[in-house]
Structure 1
Amino acid sequence: MAPLTLGFLMDPLEKVQVGHDSTFQMMLEAHRRGHTVRYFEQGWLRYSGTCAEARMRTVAVRNEVGRHFDVLEEEVRPISSLDVLFMRKDPPVDVDFLHATQLVELCSGKPPVYINSPRGIRDANEKLFTLNFPDLMPETCVSREREVLIDFIRKHPGGTILKPIDGFGGKGIVFVGPEDRNMRSLLELLTTQGHEPIIAQAYVPQSRQGDKRIILVNGEPLGAVLRVPSEDDHRGNMAAGGKPIKTTLTEREKHICARLKPKLLEHGLLMVGIDTLGDFLTEVNVTSPTGLAEINALDGVCLEAHIIDLAERLAARR
């Protein structure tokens, strides 16, 4: 097919981890196929009076630590000049992030194909979206009220996981038992003295064997990696020191993926990373899910090829 122009709204390209960053894996594949690759940061977005535009850098990328990209051109361009826009800004999903998802939709010309849909990203909080599937989740409570949370914790003798709604990379996730003397202080800290709701979730003992990141593209599972926590931590996130281990999908996990597919496609969430613990769904990651490089290395595959294939098919329809 004719070369496309693929844009990536992301964090600074200078800071990506070559060999780990999933966004960079997709950029490499797009560049390998001869597509024009442009990237811009959230702060480079603006509205010109007729449409959204951004200062964009056209780049050549290479899989080489320390010199992984060259800037070929830098110019302000309208968002509609892109055939595909990958929304890959890392969390937190704060007010600036939400404003960016609104700006990129203001196209005077034909809008690009969005992966993922800005509206879908706004609607699908990575922790709260799972509440649409209560039968797939561990028992869960969302509240800012201390006594409500204490009551939930005390009903679960095996322990409770507490996590901030807008957390990412394992940050702020704590384990608490029903007799923990730090319980009230932890709740005060995590809820900011009762001003912010948090998630309390029944502890799943299988978490010691690791949580599983499953990559779904167009609603279909393409690969998975087991993330095993270190001996002195309860978090399997690779950003928190979890070790990636080769794995396959269980029948239960295939069922979870099938249940999620219609809802994901309804919201235009075409590249998603879900997390499972044992038989339970715990998160649906839609902003910038990671895991491509680890799955590729463990399974000898190239998941980003499937993602760029999808981008090409959708751009052809555009």
Structure 2
Amino acid sequence: MSTLTLGFLMDPLETVRVDHDSTFALMLEAQRRGHQVRYFEQPWLRFGGSRAEARMRTVTVRREPGRAFDVLDERVSPLSDLDALFMRKDPPVDADFIQATHLVELHNGRTPVFINNPVGIRDANEKLFGLRFPDLMPETLITRNMVDLSRFVTEHAAGTILKPVEGFGGQGIIFLQPGDRNMRSLLEVLTVGGRKAIVAQAYLPESRQGDKRIILVDGEPCGAVLRVPAQDDHRGNMAAGGKPVKTELTAREREICARIKPALLERGLYLVGLDVIGDWMTEVNVTSPTGIVEIDQLDQVNVEGKVIDLAERLVGARR
């Protein structure tokens, strides 16, 4: 494969945790293969008269906290200069995020290969997309109606998980049991007084053993990590203090992956993080799924290599 120019739309490189960040692992692998690595942030993206362009930095990267990258060049360039663009901006999926997914599609000729496709990202809300497969999901209610939410909590003796539709990294996730005197107040806060819909899901006791993140590349599972919550927390997210533990895929998990693969590939969602608790899928993460570094370390594999393989293959097929 000849040298490619690979772009990364992401959060500020200065803030990246080089020992954990999946995007940084992808950049390192691309650099190791001799590809040119460029990155830009969401505010640097614009439409320049006839095409999408951005202020881009060409960088070299290294896994050294505090001095993780050097800037070789910085200039405004059209997105058509890129062979592939990795859409890796962290949530929240707010108005600015959605606008960025529209801007990157504007061109007057060649477009980069997208990983993931901006149309697919818009289509696949991470909390809602799995509901297209209700038999794979725990019992779920999405509403802003506090009477209905109260009834759902009351009907689930083991407990209910409440979370914002646009949440990420475990932020704003609440465990609530019937009879809790905070229930009405919490529902008022979470729904902003009944003006914002939230997700209510039946609590899965298996979550105490861990929340499994499965990385799918081109629709196929390439590894998994079990994220075990701390004793004093109900969240397994590593951003919320969950501990990564080595794991294997079960037959049920492989069945779930196979079921959702066509829907992902149809939308150009090539790099996906699937969350599973027990026998149930809980989220389908398509914006900037993490877990690659932890899977590499626990299983002695190179998941990012499979992703760059895919990018090279897609660019080669287009050429």
Q: Which TM-score band (shorter chain)?
A: over 0.9
Q: 2: CA distance between counterparts of 1:240 and 1:57?
A: 31
SS in 2 for 1:273: strand
1:156 aligns to what?
156
1:310 aligns to what?
310
SS in 2 for 1:231: coil
Deviation at residue 168 of structure 1 after TM alignment:
0.3
SS in 2 for 1:294: helix
Deviation at residue 303 of structure 1 after TM alignment:
0.3
Matched AA of 2:176: V
Matched AA of 2:117: S
2:294 aligns to what?
294
2:124 is the counterpart of 1:124: yes
SS in 2 for 1:284: strand
CA offsets, 1:64-93, max 9 Å, x none?
A: 222111000001000111000000000000
SS in 2 for 1:275: strand
Deviation at residue 62 of structure 1 after TM alignment:
1.1
Alignment of 1:222-237 (within 5 A): 222-237=222-237
Deviation at residue 275 of structure 1 after TM alignment:
0.3
Deviation at residue 109 of structure 1 after TM alignment:
1.8
SS in 1 for 2:96: helix
Matched AA of 1:221: P
1:97 aligns to what?
97
SS in 2 for 1:37: strand
Matched AA of 1:4: L
2:208 aligns to what?
208
1:143 aligns to what?
143
Q: TM-score, normalised by structure 2?
A: 0.99
1:262 aligns to what?
262
2:238 aligns to what?
238
Q: Percent identity?
A: 69
1:15 aligns to what?
15
CA RMSD of aligned residues (A): 0.5
Q: 1: CA distance between counterparts of 2:153 and 2:174?
A: 12
Q: 1: CA distance between counterparts of 2:266 and 2:205?
A: 33
1:110 aligns to what?
110
Unaligned regions of 5+ residues in structure 2, if any?
none
Q: 2: CA distance between counterparts of 1:43 and 1:66?
A: 23
1:71 aligns to what?
71
Deviation at residue 43 of structure 1 after TM alignment:
0.2
1:49 aligns to what?
49
Q: 2: CA distance between counterparts of 1:273 and 1:252?
A: 16
Deviation at residue 245 of structure 1 after TM alignment:
0.2
Q: 1: CA distance between counterparts of 2:215 and 2:47?
A: 34
Deviation at residue 33 of structure 1 after TM alignment:
0.4
Q: 2: CA distance between counterparts of 1:165 and 1:68?
A: 33
Deviation at residue 107 of structure 1 after TM alignment:
1.2
CA offsets, 1:245-298, max 9 Å, x none?
A: 000000000000000100000111000001000000000000000000000000
1:282 aligns to what?
282
SS in 1 for 2:20: coil
SS in 2 for 1:239: helix
Deviation at residue 24 of structure 1 after TM alignment:
0.2
Q: 1: CA distance between counterparts of 2:317 and 2:43?
A: 30
Q: 2: CA distance between counterparts of 1:46 and 1:7?
A: 15
Q: 2: CA distance between counterparts of 1:131 and 1:106?
A: 31
Unaligned regions of 5+ residues in structure 1, if any?
none
Matched AA of 2:242: G
Q: TM-score, normalised by structure 1?
A: 0.99
1:181 aligns to what?
181
Deviation at residue 151 of structure 1 after TM alignment:
1.0
SS in 2 for 1:23: helix
Deviates more, 1:21-30 or 1:148-157: 148-157
